[in-house]
Chain A
């Protein structure tokens, strides 16, 4: 089966000769760089809500985005028409948008296809009967409802996507990738005297349907139910500055917001980041080593090549507290006379690429997770984080806590209601005073930037920030 898939999937999406011609025409107005990005994405999703399979949906998006760079200006156009006529029209629009002078069509010669091989997928989702996908939803629904009568609503969602990309540029690069992602999530509502509470769990990997060989959707559903039930007894979250312990897995969002975005070279180039000009400096507490790694096989934010055709890399951003490097796409790297770090990504062919994270994680330390809690007199323990947001120019960032507990006299006590925590990235990085050895990856996420969403992963061991502002309502 693997061989059959490989043959069917690998092969040019658009004829290289046509790409060569289109790139040559794209440079006709004087551009110094042109690129064609071709994408074909098929997706399936199925939704169970209110006890019913409400819908199964499938979609297809296929097209090409063409960009032309002249000096400081990038022109961009896209088309859903992959015929020679469609591609040539988009190419003309992109080169016109780049507003260059122009001295006629230039010849572009593409190299042989290159780049690392796409990840091996055992079971392509499109080869799996839709009925099997739907059966998983019913299983999750039953498991969550069986957990407790207080679970009054369950939503379960299955989604997969198969994305093929092909990238050719005027430097002669010709490459591509196939990315297969599979996702499953369960959201529960619990009703009690205190009102309604919610609990969510999700799992997503850059793999095929074999995901469910190792993930039991019943377990996932029971964990989501448990989370909602726990919060029925939640007390209002405290308000003000205190130590915050973040459990294994979830803490990645904290780093994604506290410094991840601030280390993206496009924001650095515009001095719109508090970390601009700070390479080589100590920016975090000793023991803090932060890595962005697009090569982590199977993780939600991984790929063989990025959306500019650059192979994914493991990039060390902070090493034992010292800022070692930023993340780069082609455009910003070229200005600095260096290579891209494989972080040029886009939501789809209708978008320009920009610097994005992949899988961002904090390396494990040596502390004992139980001792970290025991050594915290009064504070908050966050078991699961929600999303977050950052203003990279000021460094102020928030992240949500969707499951959290009070720490009183070194013990976890009452669950607390949802809310955000707020901190300032550079200060928080220096205030990390404990890192455990219990590293885990977190839940699959979608990172939004400038209107584009891309899949990202994150991970951390248990860690403590000596001082963060918890945004609750309790006095």
Chain B
């Protein structure tokens, strides 16, 4: 639609805004541009095709320890000055704080990550449509019990961004990503079950249509006949899709901001054993295999590998430049944001160090337990401040070391603190997923299962 800006142009725009700074004022501009395609297939046809292009600018102004912020969903030249003026006006309402300032260059060189694929940019729309149609067809064909596909989607994004500040930060990034997801419906004897399968990569040739289709079919059909399990305490195996969601939440509790504001259950526990000794947890956005990898953070500082827990011991919290100043330390390159918000603090790509045994072997060692393949209600059932959690779940019973009957409509509950200490075994199947964490098979010694 509009002419596509290149990264240098985004940086020019950011520098242009920064150049308008008044004496004694710090200004930061974040400029992003993104193109997305989304194709949804249904019953052999294209249900929808979205071709989208969006851009935006966020401006932060700091003066005398106060910050103001404004954004606009456009790069229209007339809008830029208006955004700066709004941010400037907004800062007059903030409470002064000695730690409030923009990031300063810290000499850490960003990792050179190859996250951009011209092959995706040049991939024709017809080929993307074909992928979605193929995914739907294969999901339906994978098993005679597949009665339908609620959604079979191909989606991709090409994003480019630039950050500039009056403190001398100049950072750019560009990356591509594509994703196939299939949501299958399986039916037998009037009962319906669902299953999700996906594949992701940086370019279409990374995508495995067959795997996404087969996973969706397998995960839905194996739930057919599921019953509600009895309540009780049980050894629970979290599959990678589930463990990644929990690890992301654990990572969130280690934000320097949560710690400083008295909202982290790990606040006073640096150096203590907070997890089972076999657990080492690392946040590493410089790992190009992570879907969320990036060379520079939301303030334009280099991202870096941060060891959060080593052999169960709490090693560090993550910081942006402001929480680092407050803590008397340096930023860990963990500022997270979009153009429409100020930088927060958070992990980007957390993963546990994998174990040495495959999931099947871990399951074979469990006489009576439960494999959880899906959880629901994490937003309503996990309190990351108190640590209490309880989520809806579905999966398969484990009997005598083998997967047995499917179970659904139950919850699993514990506290984050206790679950980390209860990790009994870790699989060798660490896998990056479309979220801020990698998944891995995790065996938890005891969770409360609430069913009948």
Contacts and interface: CB of A to CB of B under 8 A. Distances in A.
Contact of A472 (B2, B50, B341, B450): B450
Contact of A56 (B73, B94, B263): B94
Contacts of A152: 262
Interface string A182-203: 0000000101000111100000
Interface in A50-72: 50-63, 71-72
A397 B391 CA distance: 10
Interface string A63-97: 10000000111111111110000100110011011
Most A Cβ at <10 Å: residue of B54, B148, B265, B452: B54
A393 B69 CA distance: 43
A131 B93 CA distance: 7
A61 B72 contact: yes
Nearest to B89: A130
Interface stretch (B40-48, B269-277, B432-440): B40-48
A72 B194 CA distance: 24
Contacts of A457: none
Interface residues of B, number: 83
B167 to A, nearest CB: 19
A106 interface: no
B95 A53 contact: yes
Given A52-B95, A272-B150, A422-B450, A62 B388 contact: no
A286 interface: no
B81 to A, nearest CB: 13
B76 A80 contact: yes
A469 B411 CA distance: 8
Interface string A206-244: 000000000000000000000000010000010111000
Contact of A398 (B49, B125, B377): B377
Given A55-B67, A418-B383, 6 more contacts: A57-B342, A76-B50, A152-B262, A153-B262, A153-B263, A422-B409
B379 interface: yes
A131 B42 CA distance: 52
Interface string B128-153: 01000000000000000001101100
A315 interface: no
B377 A399 contact: yes
A189 B411 contact: no
B380 A56 contact: no
Interface of B: 1-2, 42-43, 45-55, 67-74, 76, 79, 82-83, 86, 89-91, 93-95, 97, 125, 129, 147-148, 150-151, 185, 192-194, 228, 231, 260-263, 265, 340-342, 376-377, 379-381, 383, 385-392, 394, 408-415, 448-452
A262 B387 CA distance: 32
A51 B89 CA distance: 21
A198 B388 CA distance: 11
A56 B49 contact: no
Most B Cβ at <10 Å: residue of A49, A90, A131, A419: A419
A384 B195 CA distance: 31
A388 interface: yes
Most A Cβ at <10 Å: residue of B67, B379, B385, B391: B385
Contacts of B450: 239-240, 422, 469-472
A31 to B, nearest CB: 12
Most B Cβ at <10 Å: residue of A51, A71, A420: A420
Contact of A394 (B51, B79, B265, B408): B408
B185 A271 contact: yes
Contacts of A241: 451-452
Nearest to B194: A393
Most A Cβ at <10 Å: residue of B46, B55, B68, B193: B46
Given A52-B95, A73-B46, A418 B388 contact: yes
Given A59-B340, A72-B42, A398 B73 contact: no
Given A73-B48, A272-B185, A469-B411, A399 B380 contact: yes
Given A50-B261, A473-B448, A62 B95 contact: no
Interface string A265-284: 00100111010000000000
A78 to B, nearest CB: 6
Closest 7 CB pairs of A and B: A471-B411, A400-B380, A419-B390, A398-B377, A420-B381, A398-B392, A61-B73
Contact of A271 (B50, B70, B79, B147): B147
17 contacts: A53-B94, A60-B72, A60-B74, A71-B45, A74-B49, A93-B51, A131-B93, A189-B263, A191-B262, A271-B147, A386-B379, A391-B376, A393-B194, A450-B151, A469-B411, A469-B451, A469-B452
Contacts of A71: 45
A19 B1 CA distance: 17
A76 B262 CA distance: 45
Chain A binding surface SS class = strand
A62 B415 CA distance: 44
A396 B377 contact: no
A285 interface: no
Given A53-B93, A152-B262, A97 B380 contact: no
A387 B95 contact: no
A98 interface: yes
Nearest to B79: A60
Contact of B45 (A73, A267, A473): A73
B411 A350 contact: no
B160 to A, nearest CB: 16
Contacts of B410: 422, 469, 471
A470 to B, nearest CB: 6
A340 B46 CA distance: 23
Contacts of A398: 376-377, 380-381, 391-392, 411
B392 A62 contact: no
A30 B58 CA distance: 40
A472 B82 CA distance: 51
A45 to B, nearest CB: 9
Contacts of A195: 265, 386-387
B180 to A, nearest CB: 16
A21 to B, nearest CB: 17
Contact of B377 (A51, A81, A389, A473): A389
A330 interface: no
A46 B265 CA distance: 26
A57 B74 CA distance: 16
Contact of A72 (B47, B93, B413, B415): B47
A352 interface: yes
Contacts of B49: 73-76, 97-99
Most B Cβ at <10 Å: residue of A231, A352, A396: A396
B73 A422 contact: no
B85 to A, nearest CB: 10
A421 B50 CA distance: 37
A264 to B, nearest CB: 12
A389 B379 CA distance: 9
Given A352-B50, A469-B450, A52 B377 contact: no
A420 B260 CA distance: 28
